[in-house]
Structure 1
Amino acid sequence: MQFGAHIFGVGELADPNTLVEAAQLAEDLGYHSIFVADHIIVPRGLESKYPYSGDGSFPYAPDQNWLDPMVALGYLAGLTQTIRLGTSVTVLPMRHPIVTAKQIVSADHLSGGRVIFGAGVGWMAEEFALLGEPFRNRGRRADEYLQLIKTLWTEDNPHFEGTYFQVSDCGFAPKSAQQPHVPIWIGGESRAALRRAARLGNGWHSAGTSLAELPEKIGVLREELAVAGRSEAEFVFSTFPTDRFTVELIGQFAEHGVNHMLVPVFSFDSNKVKQRLEMIAKDVIEPYQSGA
């Protein structure tokens, strides 16, 4: 089992020193990965329901500092050595896919092949509207964008004919430092998201799954992987558990095939984030790894 920490890059964690301190602490403690979140512009009035809170409310104020994840990846690439750096998740259909492909692969190049590209379709319709991007067809566009991005990352003379983008007679470099390309972990809990992960991703990256929900979601992923003719052995099952994070829970998730877990460190208080990174490493991860 590998363990990651979502440090968001929001509020106090948007401060450059605090962000680096959290990242370097996670690296020193042996975490596999850290992740930063993606929102470009936050409307003051929201009718869209946030899918990861009980009442659908979005817990972040519009005026809180919120780092662009692509810039944060590049910044952290030069100030860490071994820890993997990921987006959790990039809202792909509200961003230009060619620019996004360049940003992600540049961070991968600068980090020596340590980037994980977490991608999802998003939920905040009002943000799409402010950016001038359509919301209703975001799933179809995300599917095409993922295929285009992989083409740019892997083909020496990229050629792509899609509904929204056509690319030919061009060069795109650098290529990924990882082979065959930067791993793509697809976020989302819906059947469509799970299908997208199995068909187009290298992993599934859940933002919230209970032990009770896990078997059904893993079952769908395995079905879709089989339909796509893909091997489960080369696929990452990454989850953020909503149950209390314990040694026993890690084992239960592992029994279902989960091989990467996000630990519950989120706080608006940066000191609490660092305290939780240390506490979970000492009290949960180390005993699990030692078999205690």
Structure 2
Amino acid sequence: MKFGVSTFLTDEGIGPAVLGPALEERGFDSLFLAEHTHIPVDSKLPAGYQLPRPYYRTLDPFVALGVAAAVTRNLRLGTGIALVVERDPITTAKEVATLDLVSGGRMIFGVGAGWVLEEMRNHGTDPRTRGRLMDERIRAMIELWTREEAEFHGEFVDFAPVHSWPKPVQNPHPPIYVGGSSERAFARVAAYGAAWMPSHMPHVPVDAVGAQIQRMREVTGTATPVTVYAIPDDQKTLEQYAELDVDQALLFLPTLPEQETLRALDEMTNTIAAYRRAHNSGVGG
């Protein structure tokens, strides 16, 4: 099992130019950054629930990952997740391809349909059709990445033949990791996903995730890789996911000032080392 970090980078915490090398020095495989363009003041959240402060202050993930790319050599750079329903597909295709190019082919495009309805409405997106919109935009982006003269004609996206460069370094394009845990999400993994990326849910038993993995692989018809997002820094939880044959665990890194973040990373490194000793899995396990 590989190990990465998922986090919200904000103007109040550690910067990507420091975080990237710190992760690489400690042997982490990847960095996944969350995205929210903004949070409307009148967001209608579940009763009694308040969004944590980092949701309001996230950095643009592509700019931040570009900074991290410039100061690292091997760290995989992922969006976790990019809100495709709030993004122009032509511009986003260029951002993904550019990051893949400047990083030497290290970009992972994590995608999802989002859940803050007022946020997507401010982008002109109807929440009722966001799933179809996301799928169509991703299909359009794949055309832009893989064809010299790309065109697309759909319900939401429509353009005549265009030239769009750069093309991604990875062939045919950066891997797409699909978030969500519904049957619709599993169908997306089958249609265009390289991996399934569910979030760790504290109220959901890990063995229930095992049933979801089995169902997802039934839908895809293959042993599709699984990367679990936002896992707590806990050896027992890592062991439970390892038993489910999860390919990568993304430990959740709280948004903290620089020195506190580095200490948190050291604690995570110790947890991973203890897990590896227990499983005799070696450096790459």
TM-score of the alignment, normalized to the shorter chain, above 0.5: yes
From 239, 264, 279, the counterpart of 2:252: 264
Q: Whole-Å Cα distance in 2 between the matches of residues 61 and 115 of structure 1?
A: 23
Deviation track 1:117-143 (CA, whole Å, cap 9, x = no partner) reads 111000011112222222210001111
Aligned residue identity for 1:42: I
What residue number does 1:285 align with? 272
Q: Is the 8 A contact 2:186 2:220 kept in 1?
A: no
What residue number does 2:16 align with? 19
Q: Is the 8 A contact 1:48 1:125 kept in 2?
A: no
Q: CA deviation at 1:115?
A: 0.7
- Kindly tell me: are residues 157 and 167 of structure 1, through their superposed partners in 2, closer, same or farther at Cα, counting changes over 3 Å? same
Larger RCO (CA under 8 A, 6+ residues apart): 2
Of 82-91 and 201-210, the range deviating more from structure 2: 201-210
From 237, 245, 248, the counterpart of 2:226: 237
Any gaps of 5 or more consecutive residues in structure 1?
Answer: none
Q: Whole-Å Cα distance in 2 between the matches of residues 176 and 188 of structure 1?
A: 25
Any gaps of 5 or more consecutive residues in structure 2?
Answer: 281-285
SS in 2 for 1:131: coil
Deviation track 1:123-168 (CA, whole Å, cap 9, x = no partner) reads 0111122222222100011111111111111122223222112334
Q: Whole-Å Cα distance in 2 between the matches of residues 133 and 111 of structure 1?
A: 31
From 234, 238, 242, the counterpart of 1:254: 242
TM-score, normalization by structure 1: 0.86
SS in 1 for 2:253: coil
What residue number does 1:196 align with? 188
Alignment: residue pair count = 276
Aligned residue identity for 1:240: Y
- Kindly tell me: are residues 181 and 270 of structure 1, through their superposed partners in 2, closer, same or farther at Cα, counting changes over 3 Å? same
Aligned residue identity for 1:72: A
Sequence identity, in percent? 30
Of 85-94 and 153-162, the range deviating more from structure 2: 153-162
Q: Is the 8 A contact 2:180 2:199 kept in 1?
A: yes
Q: Is the 8 A contact 2:89 2:141 kept in 1?
A: yes
TM-score, normalization by structure 2: 0.88
Q: CA deviation at 1:273?
A: 2.6
SS in 2 for 1:240: strand
What residue number does 1:41 align with? 38
What residue number does 2:51 align with? 58
SS in 1 for 2:3: strand
What residue number does 1:77 align with? 69
SS in 1 for 2:77: strand
Aligned residue identity for 1:22: L
What residue number does 1:151 align with? 143
What residue number does 1:31 align with? 28
Q: Is the 8 A contact 1:121 1:139 kept in 2?
A: yes
Q: CA RMSD in A?
A: 2.2
